[in-house]
Chain A
Amino acid sequence: MPRINFRSTVLGSTALAVGVLLSSAAFAEDVTLTIESWRNDDLPIWQEKIIPAFEKANPGIKVVFSPTAPTEYNAALNTKLDAGTAGDLITCRPFDASLELFKKGHLTSVNDIAGMDTFNAVAKSAWSTDDGATTFCVPMASVIHGFIYNKDAFAKVGVEVPKTEEEFFAALDKIKKEGTYVPMAMGTADQWEAATMGYQNIGPNYWHGEDGRKALIAGKEKLTDADWVAPYQTLARWADYLGDGFKAQTYPDSQNMFALGRAAIYPAGSWDISVFNTQAEFKMGAFYPPVKKDGDTCYISDHADIAMGANAKSAHPEETKKFLAWLTSADFADIYANSLPGFFSLSSHEVKLQDPLAQEFVNWRGACKTTIRSTYQILSRGTPNLENETWGASANVINGSETPEVAAKRLQDGLDSWYKPAP
């Protein structure tokens, strides 16, 4: 008897599911575009702000934002593209991951999209062919690294915002001694946190931003040079100032640790701003990576991070193009930058930022020279992959399981095994 009941339940739910499928097919008059993205954090903002703004301006086109968790995004997207089932609009990772998609014919050129001239060559470089002739994604935003600090904590302990590395470590010592706060909230469990918030954050000051990055690509500098080992040496010193058990501390743990007011300093990506805005109950400030000596030029990582391209197999190429063109508009730049503080527009439109912390980050563009992450362009094309290796090396150096020199040598050897700089 129970079996029959059970079966009828299943039948009922199957019928229900079929019904759901049919009813969604009934709206076929409107063209629906699907966006593939790894930004699942931004889902509500897309649903509530960005998409309604676009749909209002473009009646007849519906847009669905369909994010995948960042860790699965590349694998899932590539699989769907190969099988021809991916969405119309593809959110592009910078550099080689997207270049490969273009080379395979999955992405179309966006050269002819109206409004592409609002982006300068540097902004476009992350999504262009090596010769710069074709751009295949419309740049959306960059992210800036630096440090966010708890103003209340600094006031309580009595430390000033550090300008130089010496002041930075003196401040950390003082916070540690005082004992109320964990000096710095970062963990090594997720590895990328150590590499991105640590190495790529402070590194540009040592390798002099673009100069060093380009010299590395040209083969004129090596990862074993003093300027490239130095950031690892500094990172290794951080271990003393991180929370108990930082080896098992994940990125969300670090965010929580800072947002709960338990830590004084947080090595940040600008995208963290929106998380802290909603959760932190104290005043926050930000400072850029401290320089070696007072008066040195400061360098910051202002990394082209996110763009959007068109799936070559989209059934609605015209509507897809319309959407991409809208991404170049001042409207979009404003909505995006202000609803996601910490993602900074790459276009030439003047955007007035309402968030003071985000504004602080942007101000550094005037004070410091900007660069992008050292491992992203060209150097992560082969195996072993320099970016992955950098994650491991940064975590190992902080954990103390590898010395900076050994780690640097391992990275350079790995790079040498496949990369031959253009003569």
Chain B
Amino acid sequence: MSQVPIFRMRRAVVHGLLGGYTLIAILPVLLIIMNSFKDRKAIFNHPLSPPGPASFSLIGYETVLKQGDFLAYFQNSLIVTIGSLFFILLFGAMASFALTEYRFRGNVFIGLFLALGVMVPIRLGTIAILEMMAKSGLVNSLFALILVYTAQGLPLACFVLSEFMRTVSADLKNAGRVDGLSEYVVFFRLVLPLVRPAMATVAIFSMIPIWNDLWFPLILAPSEATKTITLGTQVFIGQFVTNWNAVLAALTLSLTPALVLYLIFSRQLIRGLTAGAVK
């Protein structure tokens, strides 16, 4: 008996299953994007058909683009997300290195102290945070958001990075020390490159809640100049909730940049996630 037919069949099943779930993952999004290019009647009467010459309409986009600057919102989101990720990864990696590499008094305590933050939503501290920001004049600045998200992301970053730091070989670090490298150089040159996959994991985990957050932009930076895309979308949907052309257009405008960005970086991102494994 030849193995080929069985092999082929198995392949078909694998593709069938993966393809099926892929449809589940993208159909809802396609449906929204597709309908955003149709006129009102077509949206309601034939939701499942793609826009045709008769039903094509950009009225929703006209309404939305007249009202707000989605590009600026997007830029704000980008600055906040990248800024926060930078600090989370840098500070988180430094702290995890200290906690896993050295034995000192208070080590266990500081580890637990940092881990506590995973368990309470930072939203509860809003009033004190807002007062602090108001006193230091940071209200309506993107920096305020970056600070808050950095604090919010650090516990998880330390939690995950510590796990990985432990696996970095001691021989390598000691060899570096014997060569006369300072602790800083050991960390930045030897250890940091080795935990890159873990950093990618942390980056993705931390990025999603930051990009999607509605609460802190609403409280700390609601001004037009500092609005993030999530807040901008929410305001729009609230404003045009019965105007589905506008709602679908706003949804599409808000998810497209994220998707484009994701598609551009997805290879790096996924490689980062799985890099440790491929070797």
Which residues from 49 to 85 on chain B have a C-beta closer than 8 Å to any C-beta of chain A?
Answer: 67, 72, 75-76, 78-79, 82-83
Find out whether the CB atom of B76 lies under 8 angstroms from the CB atom of A83. Answer: no
Binds A, one of B89-97, B170-178, B239-247: B239-247
Q: Is the C-beta of A388 less than 8 angstroms from some C-beta in chain B?
A: no
Find out whether the CB atom of B134 lies under 8 angstroms from the CB atom of A256. Answer: no
Find out whether the CB atom of A69 lies under 8 angstroms from the CB atom of B238. Answer: yes
Which residues from 218 to 266 on chain B have a C-beta closer than 8 Å to any C-beta of chain A?
Answer: 218-219, 222-223, 225-226, 234-235, 238-239, 241-244
Identify A79's interface contact among B130, B141, B226, CB under 8 A: B130
Docked pose: A10 CA to B142 CA in angstroms:
13
- Which B residues are in CB contact (< 8 Å) with A13? 75, 78-79
Q: Smallest CB-CB separation from B225: which chain A residue?
A: A20
Q: Is the C-beta of A279 less than 8 angstroms from some C-beta in chain B?
A: yes
Find out whether the CB atom of A260 lies under 8 angstroms from the CB atom of B126. Answer: no
Find out whether the CB atom of A72 lies under 8 angstroms from the CB atom of B127. Answer: no
Find out whether the CB atom of B131 lies under 8 angstroms from the CB atom of A252. Answer: no
Find out whether the CB atom of B225 lies under 8 angstroms from the CB atom of A79. Answer: no
Q: Is the C-beta of B139 less than 8 angstroms from some C-beta in chain A?
A: yes
- Which A residues are in CB contact (< 8 Å) with B226? 17
Identify A67's interface contact among B235, B243, B244, CB under 8 A: B235
Docked pose: A260 CA to B47 CA in angstroms:
15
- Given the known inter-chain contacts A10-B82, A80-B219, A256-B44, please indicate yes or no for A85 contacting B242, CB distance below 8 A: no
Q: How far in angstroms is the closest Cβ of chain A from B138?
A: 10
- Which B residues are in CB contact (< 8 Å) with A215? none
Find out whether the CB atom of A256 lies under 8 angstroms from the CB atom of B218. Answer: no
Q: How far in angstroms is the closest Cβ of chain B from A157?
A: 22
Q: How far in angstroms is the closest Cβ of chain B from A86?
A: 10
Find out whether the CB atom of B225 lies under 8 angstroms from the CB atom of A83. Answer: no
Q: Is the C-beta of A398 less than 8 angstroms from some C-beta in chain B?
A: no
Which residues from 57 to 92 on chain A have a C-beta closer than 8 Å to any C-beta of chain B?
Answer: 66-70, 72, 76, 79-80, 82-85
Find out whether the CB atom of A252 lies under 8 angstroms from the CB atom of B225. Answer: no
Binds B, one of A37-45, A130-138, A286-294, A329-337: A37-45
- Which A residues are in CB contact (< 8 Å) with B78? 10, 13
Q: Is the C-beta of A401 less than 8 angstroms from some C-beta in chain B?
A: no
Find out whether the CB atom of A275 lies under 8 angstroms from the CB atom of B134. Answer: no
Find out whether the CB atom of B126 lies under 8 angstroms from the CB atom of A44. Answer: no
Q: Smallest CB-CB separation from A253: which chain B residue?
A: B242
- Which A residues are in CB contact (< 8 Å) with B234? 69
Find out whether the CB atom of B127 lies under 8 angstroms from the CB atom of A82. Answer: yes
Docked pose: A131 CA to B57 CA in angstroms:
57
Q: How far in angstroms is the closest Cβ of chain B from A366?
A: 31
Interface residues of A (CB under 8 A from B): 10, 13-14, 16-17, 20-21, 24, 40-41, 43-44, 66-70, 72, 76, 79-80, 82-85, 252, 255-256, 259-260, 275, 279
Interface residues of B (CB under 8 A from A): 44, 67, 72, 75-76, 78-79, 82-83, 126-127, 130-131, 133-134, 139, 141-142, 218-219, 222-223, 225-226, 234-235, 238-239, 241-244
Which 9 pairs, one residue from A and one from B, show the smallest C-beta to C-beta distance? A83-B130, A69-B238, A252-B241, A255-B242, A83-B131, A40-B238, A40-B239, A252-B242, A20-B225
A-B contact pairs, 25 of them (CB 8 A): A13-B75, A17-B142, A17-B225, A17-B226, A21-B225, A24-B225, A40-B239, A41-B238, A41-B239, A43-B67, A66-B223, A67-B235, A69-B234, A70-B238, A76-B218, A79-B130, A79-B219, A80-B219, A82-B130, A83-B131, A252-B242, A256-B242, A256-B244, A260-B44, A275-B242
